[in-house]
Structure 1
Amino acid sequence: MNLCIRSKYMRPNLVGSLFRYSITATEVVETNEHVLIDDSDDAQAKEAEIEKKRDISRLSSAHRNLINGLRPYEEPKSVTHLTVKYNRKMYGKYGSASGVNPMLCFPTKRDIAEIQEYEAVAFPFSIKEMMEQAARMRKEEQGKIEQRDREVATKYAKLAQWKKDLEDKIAKKTAEANAAKEKKERLVEEVRRHFGFKLDPRDERFQEMLAKREKEQKKQEKLAKREAKEKEMIAKLQQKNVKLGDKST
Protein backbone atom coordinates (compact mmCIF):
# COMPACT_ATOMS: atom_id res chain seq x y z
CA MET A 1 0.00 0.00 0.00
CA ASN A 2 2.78 2.31 0.86
CA LEU A 3 4.77 1.33 -2.21
CA CYS A 4 1.83 2.03 -4.45
CA ILE A 5 1.29 5.38 -2.91
CA ARG A 6 5.03 6.19 -3.21
CA SER A 7 5.19 5.15 -6.81
CA LYS A 8 2.05 7.02 -7.58
CA TYR A 9 3.38 10.15 -6.05
CA MET A 10 6.91 9.68 -7.34
CA ARG A 11 6.24 9.41 -11.11
CA PRO A 12 5.12 12.99 -11.64
CA ASN A 13 8.29 14.18 -9.98
CA LEU A 14 10.40 11.99 -12.26
CA VAL A 15 8.65 13.24 -15.39
CA GLY A 16 9.05 16.78 -14.19
CA SER A 17 12.69 16.23 -13.47
CA LEU A 18 13.27 14.84 -16.93
CA PHE A 19 11.43 17.74 -18.48
CA ARG A 20 13.45 20.20 -16.51
CA TYR A 21 16.62 18.40 -17.49
CA SER A 22 15.74 18.47 -21.16
CA ILE A 23 15.01 22.19 -20.98
CA THR A 24 18.23 22.85 -19.22
CA ALA A 25 20.27 20.89 -21.80
CA THR A 26 18.76 22.85 -24.68
CA GLU A 27 19.48 26.08 -22.98
CA VAL A 28 23.02 24.95 -22.35
CA VAL A 29 23.52 24.12 -26.05
CA GLU A 30 22.10 27.48 -27.15
CA THR A 31 24.19 29.21 -24.55
CA ASN A 32 27.31 27.41 -25.74
CA GLU A 33 26.57 28.35 -29.38
CA HIS A 34 26.07 31.98 -28.37
CA VAL A 35 29.34 31.87 -26.47
CA LEU A 36 31.10 30.41 -29.51
CA ILE A 37 29.64 33.12 -31.77
CA ASP A 38 30.62 35.80 -29.32
CA ASP A 39 34.11 34.35 -29.12
CA SER A 40 34.37 34.34 -32.94
CA ASP A 41 33.29 37.99 -33.18
CA ASP A 42 35.69 38.93 -30.44
CA ALA A 43 38.50 37.12 -32.23
CA GLN A 44 37.77 38.94 -35.46
CA ALA A 45 37.58 42.26 -33.66
CA LYS A 46 40.84 41.53 -31.89
CA GLU A 47 42.47 40.53 -35.17
CA ALA A 48 41.28 43.76 -36.80
CA GLU A 49 42.57 45.76 -33.86
CA ILE A 50 45.93 44.01 -34.10
CA GLU A 51 46.15 44.70 -37.84
CA LYS A 52 45.26 48.33 -37.19
CA LYS A 53 48.03 48.61 -34.61
CA ARG A 54 50.48 46.94 -36.97
CA ASP A 55 49.85 49.65 -39.55
CA ILE A 56 52.28 52.35 -38.42
CA SER A 57 52.26 54.23 -41.77
CA ARG A 58 49.23 56.33 -40.76
CA LEU A 59 48.14 56.27 -44.39
CA SER A 60 44.55 56.60 -45.39
CA SER A 61 42.82 53.62 -46.91
CA ALA A 62 42.94 55.24 -50.35
CA HIS A 63 46.68 55.78 -50.18
CA ARG A 64 47.25 52.31 -48.83
CA ASN A 65 45.28 50.85 -51.75
CA LEU A 66 47.40 52.82 -54.20
CA ILE A 67 50.59 51.47 -52.69
CA ASN A 68 49.24 47.92 -52.87
CA GLY A 69 48.19 48.36 -56.50
CA LEU A 70 44.46 48.47 -55.75
CA ARG A 71 41.75 50.90 -56.73
CA PRO A 72 41.89 53.77 -54.23
CA TYR A 73 38.15 54.07 -53.59
CA GLU A 74 35.65 51.24 -53.50
CA GLU A 75 32.76 53.71 -53.48
CA PRO A 76 32.56 57.15 -55.12
CA LYS A 77 33.72 59.95 -52.87
CA SER A 78 33.07 62.89 -55.21
CA VAL A 79 31.33 63.79 -58.45
CA THR A 80 34.58 63.20 -60.33
CA HIS A 81 34.49 59.51 -59.44
CA LEU A 82 31.20 59.21 -61.32
CA THR A 83 32.53 60.54 -64.62
CA VAL A 84 33.22 58.34 -67.61
CA LYS A 85 36.77 59.67 -67.89
CA TYR A 86 37.65 58.63 -64.33
CA ASN A 87 36.14 55.16 -64.72
CA ARG A 88 37.98 54.62 -68.01
CA LYS A 89 41.17 55.58 -66.24
CA MET A 90 40.48 53.11 -63.44
CA TYR A 91 39.79 50.29 -65.91
CA GLY A 92 42.89 51.12 -67.89
CA LYS A 93 45.02 50.93 -64.75
CA TYR A 94 43.44 48.13 -62.74
CA GLY A 95 41.58 46.14 -65.39
CA SER A 96 38.68 43.95 -64.31
CA ALA A 97 39.71 44.35 -60.66
CA SER A 98 38.45 47.93 -60.85
CA GLY A 99 34.87 46.72 -61.11
CA VAL A 100 34.20 49.04 -64.05
CA ASN A 101 32.09 47.93 -66.96
CA PRO A 102 34.41 47.62 -70.01
CA MET A 103 31.68 49.04 -72.23
CA LEU A 104 32.49 52.49 -70.84
CA CYS A 105 35.87 52.32 -72.55
CA PHE A 106 34.31 52.36 -76.02
CA PRO A 107 33.23 55.69 -77.55
CA THR A 108 29.55 56.35 -78.04
CA LYS A 109 28.02 57.42 -81.34
CA ARG A 110 28.05 60.99 -80.13
CA ASP A 111 31.75 60.76 -79.25
CA ILE A 112 32.54 59.32 -82.67
CA ALA A 113 30.59 62.14 -84.36
CA GLU A 114 32.45 64.79 -82.35
CA ILE A 115 35.82 63.20 -83.15
CA GLN A 116 34.99 63.09 -86.85
CA GLU A 117 33.88 66.72 -86.80
CA TYR A 118 37.10 67.76 -85.03
CA GLU A 119 39.30 65.83 -87.45
CA ALA A 120 37.45 67.31 -90.41
CA VAL A 121 38.33 70.81 -89.16
CA ALA A 122 41.80 70.12 -87.71
CA PHE A 123 43.00 67.82 -90.53
CA PRO A 124 41.10 68.82 -93.68
CA PHE A 125 43.63 67.23 -96.06
CA SER A 126 44.08 63.60 -96.93
CA ILE A 127 47.34 61.75 -96.29
CA LYS A 128 48.35 62.06 -99.94
CA GLU A 129 47.67 65.79 -99.95
CA MET A 130 49.64 66.23 -96.72
CA MET A 131 52.59 64.30 -98.20
CA GLU A 132 52.53 66.47 -101.32
CA GLN A 133 52.36 69.62 -99.23
CA ALA A 134 55.27 68.46 -97.08
CA ALA A 135 57.30 67.73 -100.23
CA ARG A 136 56.59 71.22 -101.58
CA MET A 137 57.60 72.80 -98.29
CA ARG A 138 60.86 70.82 -98.24
CA LYS A 139 61.59 71.87 -101.82
CA GLU A 140 60.91 75.53 -101.04
CA GLU A 141 63.08 75.37 -97.93
CA GLN A 142 65.90 73.76 -99.90
CA GLY A 143 65.58 76.49 -102.55
CA LYS A 144 65.87 79.18 -99.89
CA ILE A 145 68.98 77.51 -98.46
CA GLU A 146 70.62 77.30 -101.88
CA GLN A 147 69.76 80.95 -102.63
CA ARG A 148 71.25 81.98 -99.31
CA ASP A 149 74.42 79.98 -100.06
CA ARG A 150 74.78 81.71 -103.44
CA GLU A 151 74.39 85.13 -101.84
CA VAL A 152 76.99 84.31 -99.20
CA ALA A 153 79.42 83.07 -101.87
CA THR A 154 78.90 86.23 -103.97
CA LYS A 155 79.46 88.49 -100.98
CA TYR A 156 82.51 86.52 -99.92
CA ALA A 157 83.98 86.99 -103.38
CA LYS A 158 83.52 90.76 -102.99
CA LEU A 159 84.96 90.79 -99.49
CA ALA A 160 88.49 91.65 -100.61
CA GLN A 161 87.25 94.60 -102.72
CA TRP A 162 85.07 95.84 -99.86
CA LYS A 163 88.03 95.71 -97.48
CA LYS A 164 90.14 97.68 -99.97
CA ASP A 165 87.38 100.27 -100.44
CA LEU A 166 87.03 100.64 -96.68
CA GLU A 167 90.75 101.06 -96.21
CA ASP A 168 90.85 103.67 -99.01
CA LYS A 169 87.92 105.51 -97.45
CA ILE A 170 89.60 105.53 -94.04
CA ALA A 171 92.87 106.73 -95.61
CA LYS A 172 91.02 109.50 -97.46
CA LYS A 173 89.26 110.64 -94.29
CA THR A 174 92.57 110.58 -92.41
CA ALA A 175 94.29 112.59 -95.14
CA GLU A 176 91.49 115.15 -95.21
CA ALA A 177 91.62 115.49 -91.43
CA ASN A 178 95.39 115.94 -91.50
CA ALA A 179 95.11 118.48 -94.33
CA ALA A 180 92.47 120.46 -92.42
CA LYS A 181 94.65 120.39 -89.32
CA GLU A 182 97.71 121.60 -91.25
CA LYS A 183 95.67 124.34 -92.91
CA LYS A 184 94.41 125.46 -89.53
CA GLU A 185 97.94 125.55 -88.18
CA ARG A 186 99.15 127.58 -91.18
CA LEU A 187 96.36 130.11 -90.70
CA VAL A 188 97.18 130.44 -87.01
CA GLU A 189 100.82 130.99 -87.86
CA GLU A 190 99.92 133.63 -90.46
CA VAL A 191 97.75 135.49 -87.93
CA ARG A 192 100.61 135.44 -85.41
CA ARG A 193 103.00 136.86 -88.03
CA HIS A 194 100.40 139.51 -88.89
CA PHE A 195 100.40 140.89 -85.35
CA GLY A 196 104.16 140.62 -85.05
CA PHE A 197 104.08 139.57 -81.43
CA LYS A 198 102.93 136.60 -79.39
CA LEU A 199 99.19 136.70 -78.87
CA ASP A 200 96.91 134.27 -77.04
CA PRO A 201 94.79 132.36 -79.61
CA ARG A 202 91.78 132.86 -77.31
CA ASP A 203 92.12 136.64 -77.66
CA GLU A 204 89.23 138.35 -79.44
CA ARG A 205 91.53 140.13 -81.92
CA PHE A 206 93.21 136.84 -82.75
CA GLN A 207 89.87 135.15 -83.32
CA GLU A 208 88.61 137.97 -85.58
CA MET A 209 91.73 137.91 -87.73
CA LEU A 210 91.63 134.11 -87.91
CA ALA A 211 88.01 134.16 -89.09
CA LYS A 212 88.91 136.80 -91.71
CA ARG A 213 91.80 134.72 -93.05
CA GLU A 214 89.63 131.57 -93.14
CA LYS A 215 87.01 133.44 -95.13
CA GLU A 216 89.62 134.68 -97.62
CA GLN A 217 91.09 131.20 -97.96
CA LYS A 218 87.65 129.65 -98.64
CA LYS A 219 87.05 132.30 -101.29
CA GLN A 220 90.37 131.50 -102.96
CA GLU A 221 89.63 127.75 -102.86
CA LYS A 222 86.23 128.37 -104.41
CA LEU A 223 87.77 130.42 -107.23
CA ALA A 224 90.38 127.74 -107.78
CA LYS A 225 87.69 125.05 -108.06
CA ARG A 226 85.73 127.19 -110.51
CA GLU A 227 88.82 127.77 -112.67
CA ALA A 228 89.61 124.07 -112.61
CA LYS A 229 86.07 123.22 -113.65
CA GLU A 230 86.16 125.76 -116.51
CA LYS A 231 89.45 124.35 -117.73
CA GLU A 232 88.00 120.85 -117.64
CA MET A 233 84.95 121.94 -119.66
CA ILE A 234 87.17 123.70 -122.22
CA ALA A 235 89.28 120.59 -122.56
CA LYS A 236 86.18 118.43 -123.15
CA LEU A 237 84.87 120.86 -125.80
CA GLN A 238 88.23 120.88 -127.57
CA GLN A 239 88.32 117.09 -127.52
CA LYS A 240 84.78 116.95 -128.88
CA ASN A 241 85.62 119.38 -131.72
CA VAL A 242 88.64 117.30 -132.62
CA LYS A 243 86.48 114.18 -132.88
CA LEU A 244 83.91 116.02 -135.05
CA GLY A 245 86.70 117.28 -137.34
CA ASP A 246 88.05 113.75 -137.74
CA LYS A 247 84.59 112.47 -138.67
CA SER A 248 84.05 115.24 -141.26
CA THR A 249 87.30 114.38 -142.99
Structure 2
Amino acid sequence: MNICVRNNFLRSNLMSSVCRFSTTVPEVEPNEPTFIIDDTEDAQAKEAEIQKKRNKSGLSKAHYNLMNDKRPYEEPHCLAHLTVKYHRKMYGKYGIASGVNPSLCWPTKQEIQERIEYETVAFPYTIKEVMESAAQRRKEEKLRILQRDREVAEKFAKLDAWKKDLHERIAKKEAEVKAAKLKKERLVEEVRRHFGFTLDPRDERFQEMLAKREKEQKKQEKLAKREEKEKLMIAKLQQQSAEVK
Protein backbone atom coordinates (compact mmCIF):
# COMPACT_ATOMS: atom_id res chain seq x y z
CA MET A 1 0.00 0.00 0.00
CA ASN A 2 1.53 3.33 -1.05
CA ILE A 3 1.62 6.48 1.12
CA CYS A 4 -1.13 8.27 -0.78
CA VAL A 5 -3.72 5.51 -0.18
CA ARG A 6 -2.61 5.11 3.43
CA ASN A 7 -3.06 8.90 4.09
CA ASN A 8 -6.52 8.95 2.52
CA PHE A 9 -7.55 5.93 4.61
CA LEU A 10 -6.39 7.59 7.85
CA ARG A 11 -8.10 10.87 6.94
CA SER A 12 -11.41 9.16 6.27
CA ASN A 13 -11.26 7.30 9.62
CA LEU A 14 -10.47 10.52 11.46
CA MET A 15 -13.36 12.35 9.82
CA SER A 16 -15.74 9.56 10.74
CA SER A 17 -14.71 9.70 14.39
CA VAL A 18 -15.13 13.47 14.55
CA CYS A 19 -18.52 13.35 12.97
CA ARG A 20 -19.67 10.65 15.40
CA PHE A 21 -18.84 12.60 18.61
CA SER A 22 -19.33 16.19 17.38
CA THR A 23 -22.42 18.14 16.41
CA THR A 24 -20.49 20.31 14.02
CA VAL A 25 -19.07 19.18 10.78
CA PRO A 26 -15.43 20.03 10.39
CA GLU A 27 -14.53 22.08 7.52
CA VAL A 28 -12.28 20.50 4.93
CA GLU A 29 -10.55 22.56 2.44
CA PRO A 30 -11.75 21.47 -0.97
CA ASN A 31 -8.42 21.89 -2.66
CA GLU A 32 -6.12 20.45 0.00
CA PRO A 33 -2.86 19.48 -1.64
CA THR A 34 -2.07 15.70 -1.61
CA PHE A 35 1.51 14.43 -1.84
CA ILE A 36 1.92 11.07 -3.67
CA ILE A 37 5.17 9.19 -3.07
CA ASP A 38 5.77 6.15 -5.35
CA ASP A 39 8.00 3.59 -3.67
CA THR A 40 8.08 1.13 -6.64
CA GLU A 41 11.72 1.85 -7.40
CA ASP A 42 12.67 1.46 -3.74
CA ALA A 43 10.86 -1.89 -3.61
CA GLN A 44 12.68 -3.12 -6.70
CA ALA A 45 16.03 -2.02 -5.27
CA LYS A 46 15.26 -3.81 -2.02
CA GLU A 47 14.24 -6.96 -3.89
CA ALA A 48 17.47 -6.87 -5.92
CA GLU A 49 19.49 -6.44 -2.72
CA ILE A 50 17.69 -9.39 -1.14
CA GLN A 51 18.35 -11.58 -4.18
CA LYS A 52 22.01 -10.54 -4.13
CA LYS A 53 22.32 -11.52 -0.48
CA ARG A 54 20.65 -14.85 -1.17
CA ASN A 55 23.41 -15.73 -3.69
CA LYS A 56 26.02 -17.34 -1.43
CA SER A 57 27.91 -19.04 -4.29
CA GLY A 58 30.25 -16.10 -4.94
CA LEU A 59 29.90 -16.64 -8.69
CA SER A 60 29.82 -13.81 -11.16
CA LYS A 61 26.49 -12.94 -12.69
CA ALA A 62 27.35 -14.65 -15.97
CA HIS A 63 28.46 -17.87 -14.26
CA TYR A 64 25.47 -17.79 -11.95
CA ASN A 65 23.16 -17.54 -14.96
CA LEU A 66 24.91 -20.46 -16.63
CA MET A 67 24.51 -22.62 -13.54
CA ASN A 68 20.79 -21.80 -13.54
CA ASP A 69 20.26 -22.48 -17.28
CA LYS A 70 19.93 -18.80 -18.17
CA ARG A 71 21.57 -16.70 -20.82
CA PRO A 72 24.90 -15.52 -19.35
CA TYR A 73 24.80 -11.95 -20.64
CA GLU A 74 21.77 -9.79 -21.19
CA GLU A 75 23.87 -7.11 -22.89
CA PRO A 76 26.84 -7.72 -25.26
CA HIS A 77 30.25 -7.59 -23.58
CA CYS A 78 32.48 -8.11 -26.61
CA LEU A 79 32.35 -8.12 -30.41
CA ALA A 80 31.68 -11.87 -30.48
CA HIS A 81 28.33 -11.29 -28.75
CA LEU A 82 27.21 -9.25 -31.75
CA THR A 83 27.78 -12.00 -34.32
CA VAL A 84 25.05 -14.07 -35.93
CA LYS A 85 26.84 -17.25 -34.87
CA TYR A 86 26.61 -16.29 -31.20
CA HIS A 87 22.93 -15.41 -31.44
CA ARG A 88 22.21 -18.73 -33.15
CA LYS A 89 24.06 -20.52 -30.38
CA MET A 90 22.05 -18.70 -27.71
CA TYR A 91 18.75 -19.53 -29.40
CA GLY A 92 19.77 -23.14 -29.88
CA LYS A 93 20.56 -23.49 -26.16
CA TYR A 94 17.96 -21.31 -24.46
CA GLY A 95 15.20 -21.12 -27.06
CA ILE A 96 12.74 -18.25 -27.01
CA ALA A 97 13.98 -17.28 -23.51
CA SER A 98 17.21 -16.06 -25.11
CA GLY A 99 15.36 -13.14 -26.65
CA VAL A 100 16.90 -13.86 -30.06
CA ASN A 101 14.89 -13.50 -33.23
CA PRO A 102 14.44 -17.08 -34.59
CA SER A 103 14.80 -15.83 -38.17
CA LEU A 104 18.55 -15.45 -37.56
CA CYS A 105 18.82 -19.23 -37.35
CA TRP A 106 18.01 -19.64 -41.05
CA PRO A 107 20.95 -19.28 -43.47
CA THR A 108 21.01 -16.38 -45.87
CA LYS A 109 20.95 -16.81 -49.65
CA GLN A 110 24.67 -16.14 -49.80
CA GLU A 111 25.39 -18.77 -47.14
CA ILE A 112 23.25 -21.29 -48.98
CA GLN A 113 25.07 -20.60 -52.23
CA GLU A 114 28.47 -20.87 -50.57
CA ARG A 115 27.45 -24.16 -48.97
CA ILE A 116 26.30 -25.53 -52.33
CA GLU A 117 29.60 -24.55 -53.94
CA TYR A 118 31.56 -26.17 -51.09
CA GLU A 119 29.65 -29.45 -51.27
CA THR A 120 30.04 -29.50 -55.05
CA VAL A 121 33.83 -29.44 -54.65
CA ALA A 122 34.13 -31.50 -51.45
CA PHE A 123 31.58 -34.17 -52.46
CA PRO A 124 31.57 -34.34 -56.27
CA TYR A 125 29.95 -37.79 -56.46
CA THR A 126 26.34 -38.73 -55.99
CA ILE A 127 25.19 -41.10 -53.24
CA LYS A 128 24.77 -43.90 -55.78
CA GLU A 129 28.30 -43.39 -57.11
CA VAL A 130 29.72 -43.39 -53.58
CA MET A 131 27.86 -46.62 -52.74
CA GLU A 132 29.07 -48.29 -55.94
CA SER A 133 32.65 -47.20 -55.24
CA ALA A 134 32.46 -48.55 -51.69
CA ALA A 135 31.05 -51.86 -52.94
CA GLN A 136 33.87 -52.13 -55.50
CA ARG A 137 36.49 -51.48 -52.81
CA ARG A 138 34.96 -54.16 -50.59
CA LYS A 139 34.98 -56.61 -53.48
CA GLU A 140 38.63 -55.89 -54.30
CA GLU A 141 39.60 -56.21 -50.63
CA LYS A 142 37.80 -59.56 -50.41
CA LEU A 143 39.60 -60.84 -53.53
CA ARG A 144 42.93 -59.66 -52.13
CA ILE A 145 42.31 -61.52 -48.88
CA LEU A 146 41.32 -64.70 -50.74
CA GLN A 147 44.45 -64.49 -52.90
CA ARG A 148 46.59 -63.98 -49.83
CA ASP A 149 44.99 -66.97 -48.08
CA ARG A 150 45.58 -69.10 -51.18
CA GLU A 151 49.25 -68.14 -51.30
CA VAL A 152 49.67 -68.88 -47.59
CA ALA A 153 48.04 -72.31 -48.03
CA GLU A 154 50.31 -73.14 -50.98
CA LYS A 155 53.43 -72.12 -49.08
CA PHE A 156 52.31 -74.04 -46.01
CA ALA A 157 51.90 -77.15 -48.17
CA LYS A 158 55.52 -76.75 -49.35
CA LEU A 159 56.81 -76.16 -45.82
CA ASP A 160 57.87 -79.77 -45.21
CA ALA A 161 59.76 -79.91 -48.52
CA TRP A 162 61.50 -76.62 -47.74
CA LYS A 163 62.48 -77.83 -44.28
CA LYS A 164 63.87 -81.06 -45.76
CA ASP A 165 65.83 -79.13 -48.39
CA LEU A 166 67.19 -76.79 -45.73
CA HIS A 167 68.36 -79.67 -43.55
CA GLU A 168 70.03 -81.31 -46.57
CA ARG A 169 71.86 -78.12 -47.50
CA ILE A 170 73.00 -77.64 -43.88
CA ALA A 171 74.21 -81.24 -43.75
CA LYS A 172 76.01 -80.85 -47.09
CA LYS A 173 77.70 -77.67 -45.91
CA GLU A 174 78.78 -79.30 -42.67
CA ALA A 175 80.14 -82.28 -44.61
CA GLU A 176 82.09 -79.96 -46.94
CA VAL A 177 83.56 -78.09 -43.98
CA LYS A 178 84.48 -81.35 -42.29
CA ALA A 179 86.07 -82.73 -45.50
CA ALA A 180 88.07 -79.52 -46.01
CA LYS A 181 89.29 -79.68 -42.43
CA LEU A 182 90.38 -83.34 -42.84
CA LYS A 183 92.12 -82.54 -46.11
CA LYS A 184 93.96 -79.68 -44.48
CA GLU A 185 95.06 -81.95 -41.65
CA ARG A 186 96.29 -84.61 -44.10
CA LEU A 187 98.31 -82.04 -46.04
CA VAL A 188 99.90 -80.76 -42.85
CA GLU A 189 100.80 -84.31 -41.83
CA GLU A 190 102.31 -85.03 -45.28
CA VAL A 191 104.46 -81.88 -45.05
CA ARG A 192 105.70 -82.93 -41.60
CA ARG A 193 106.62 -86.38 -42.90
CA HIS A 194 108.39 -84.73 -45.82
CA PHE A 195 110.75 -82.82 -43.54
CA GLY A 196 111.21 -85.80 -41.18
CA PHE A 197 111.31 -83.63 -38.07
CA THR A 198 108.99 -81.39 -36.08
CA LEU A 199 108.59 -78.00 -37.70
CA ASP A 200 106.48 -75.02 -36.65
CA PRO A 201 103.54 -74.65 -39.06
CA ARG A 202 104.24 -70.89 -39.11
CA ASP A 203 107.72 -71.49 -40.51
CA GLU A 204 108.27 -70.13 -44.01
CA ARG A 205 109.57 -73.49 -45.31
CA PHE A 206 106.53 -75.24 -43.93
CA GLN A 207 104.17 -72.71 -45.55
CA GLU A 208 105.90 -73.01 -48.94
CA MET A 209 105.72 -76.81 -48.90
CA LEU A 210 102.08 -76.69 -47.78
CA ALA A 211 101.16 -74.36 -50.66
CA LYS A 212 102.96 -76.67 -53.09
CA ARG A 213 101.09 -79.71 -51.80
CA GLU A 214 97.75 -77.87 -52.02
CA LYS A 215 98.46 -76.88 -55.61
CA GLU A 216 99.31 -80.48 -56.53
CA GLN A 217 96.21 -81.78 -54.82
CA LYS A 218 93.94 -79.28 -56.64
CA LYS A 219 95.54 -80.37 -59.91
CA GLN A 220 94.84 -84.01 -59.13
CA GLU A 221 91.25 -83.24 -58.17
CA LYS A 222 90.77 -81.32 -61.42
CA LEU A 223 92.12 -84.27 -63.44
CA ALA A 224 89.87 -86.64 -61.54
CA LYS A 225 86.81 -84.51 -62.31
CA ARG A 226 87.77 -84.35 -65.99
CA GLU A 227 88.20 -88.11 -66.15
CA GLU A 228 84.84 -88.60 -64.45
CA LYS A 229 83.21 -86.27 -66.95
CA GLU A 230 84.79 -88.11 -69.88
CA LYS A 231 83.58 -91.43 -68.52
CA LEU A 232 80.04 -90.11 -68.27
CA MET A 233 80.17 -88.79 -71.84
CA ILE A 234 81.50 -92.12 -73.14
CA ALA A 235 78.80 -94.00 -71.28
CA LYS A 236 76.14 -91.70 -72.71
CA LEU A 237 77.44 -92.15 -76.27
CA GLN A 238 77.52 -95.91 -75.84
CA GLN A 239 73.93 -95.87 -74.61
CA GLN A 240 72.81 -93.80 -77.61
CA SER A 241 74.61 -96.18 -80.02
CA ALA A 242 72.92 -99.15 -78.42
CA GLU A 243 69.51 -97.50 -78.76
CA VAL A 244 70.16 -96.79 -82.48
CA LYS A 245 71.04 -100.45 -83.13
TM-score (norm 2): 0.78
Give the paired residue count: 216
- Give how far 1:219 is off: 1.4
Task: Provide the C-alpha distance between the structure 2 equivalents of 1:119 and 1:180, rounded to a whole number of angstroms.
Answer: 77
Partner of 2:173: 173
Task: Provide the C-alpha distance between the structure 1 equivalents of 2:240 and 2:53, rounded to a whole number of angstroms.
Answer: 122
More helix by share: 1
Partner of 1:151: 151
Task: Provide the C-alpha distance between the structure 1 equivalents of 2:194 and 2:78, rounded to a whole number of angstroms.
Answer: 107
Unaligned 5+ segments in structure 1 are: 1-21
Q: How does 1:134-149 map to 2 (within 5 A)?
A: 134-149=134-149
Pick which of 141-150 and 113-122 moved more: 113-122
Task: Provide the C-alpha distance between the structure 2 equivalents of 1:227 and 1:174, rounded to a whole number of angstroms.
Answer: 27
Identity %: 70
Change in CA separation of 1:46 and 1:108 when aligned onto 2, cut-off 3 Å: closer
Q: How does 1:218-229 map to 2 (within 5 A)?
A: 218-229=218-229
- Give how far 1:103 is off: 0.8
Change in CA separation of 1:153 and 1:101 when aligned onto 2, cut-off 3 Å: same
Unaligned 5+ segments in structure 2 are: 1-28
Partner of 1:59: 59
Greater relative contact order (CA < 8 Å, ≥ 6 in sequence): 2
Deviations 1:151-179 (A, max 9, x none): 11111111111111111111111111111
Task: Provide the C-alpha distance between the structure 1 equivalents of 2:116 and 2:47, rounded to a whole number of angstroms.
Answer: 57
- Give how far 1:52 is off: 3.9
Letter in 2 for 1:197: F
Letter in 1 for 2:129: E
TM-score (norm 1): 0.77
2:122 is the counterpart of 1:122: yes
Task: Provide the C-alpha distance between the structure 1 equivalents of 2:48 and 2:126, rounded to a whole number of angstroms.
Answer: 63
User: In angstroms, what is the RMSD of aligned CA positions?
Assistant: 2.4
